[in-house]
Chains A and B, each alone.
Chain A
């Protein structure tokens, strides 16, 4: 199973772009990279998923370099409501469907 490493916390100000990097050095060929957001006392919410290069949706962008040993979640122009824990997951659709959430990154957006 690919283990992930993220910063424990990050602070930002409203309107700024936030980039959260996740390291996954032993990512396997079949593994995808997925990011979730979690507010206190709620279940995580899917943000974005990718395999390589760049993926963009209405909420965020995900940048994955060629070696896929890391990925960066980019949140454009954050607001106070983006304050949450962000999790990076790496898993494959193989037989061992274990979905391991690490400690995540606590993002605090300041006014």
Chain B
């Protein structure tokens, strides 16, 4: 248990569906992240939120839409996905100290997404 929870753990959706992934962190951190991990590939950073503001968007297609209503919750809204979007989606949080120092990330268990 890392203090970062993700729901659902598994999700199967059709290409025309709309669904959302939820992440919640109970660590008091101020930064949250979405990563994608496809089979036999490295983790790909998708989005970074710092103090609820999006600071990084790694050229992610618009069919993925993040939302960060507060520093404890992070959502990833999904619509009109493609089969190649099937992957493990991981959420992480950290305490970003800015220029004062680096930080470690705490990852959730992930959501295994299958797009049919």
B86 lies within 8 A of chain A by Cβ: no
A104–B42 touching, CB < 8 Å: yes
Tell me the nearest residue of chain B to A48, going by C-beta. Answer: B104
B92 and A34 form a contact (CB under 8 A): no
Query: Is A93 touching B102 in the complex (CB atoms < 8 A)?
Result: yes
Instruction: Report whether B109 and A42 are in contact in the complex, using a CB–CB cutoff of 8 Å.
Output: yes
Contacts of A45 in B (CB 8 A): 2, 107
**Chain A 49-76 per-residue mask, 1 if CB under 8 angstroms from chain B, else 0:** 1000000000000000000000000000
Q: Please state if A43 and B102 are interface contacts (CB–CB under 8 Å).
A: no
How far does the alpha carbon of A102 sit from the alpha carbon of B112 in the complex, in Å? Answer: 21
**Most chain B CB within a 10 A radius of its CB, from A36, A42, A49, A87:** A42
Give the size range of A's interface with the partner.
20 to 34
- How many residue pairs between the two chains, A and B, have CB atoms under 8 Å in the bound complex? 63
Q: Does A13 contact B (CB under 8 A)?
A: no
Would you call A43 and B92 a contact (CB within 8 A)?
A: yes
Question: Which of A44, A45, A91, A102 is packed against the most chain B CB atoms within 10 Å?
Answer: A44
User: How many angstroms from the CA of A43 to the CA of B14 in the assembled complex?
Assistant: 25
Q: Known: A93-B103, A97-B96, A98-B58. Is A42-B48 also a contact (CB below 8 A)?
A: no
Q: Is the interface of A mostly helix, strand, loop or mixed?
A: loop
Specify which chain A residues have a CB less than 8 angstroms from the CB of B90 in the assembled complex: 43-44
Given A42-B107, A46-B104, 12 additional A-B pairs, CB 8 A = A36-B105, A41-B110, A43-B4, A43-B90, A44-B90, A44-B105, A87-B42, A93-B102, A93-B103, A97-B55, A99-B105, A101-B35
Q: List 30 A-B contacts (CB under 8 A).
A: A34-B102, A34-B104, A41-B88, A41-B110, A42-B110, A43-B2, A43-B4, A43-B91, A43-B92, A44-B90, A44-B105, A45-B107, A46-B104, A46-B105, A49-B102, A49-B104, A87-B43, A93-B100, A93-B102, A93-B103, A97-B48, A97-B56, A97-B96, A98-B56, A98-B58, A99-B33, A99-B45, A100-B45, A101-B35, A103-B42
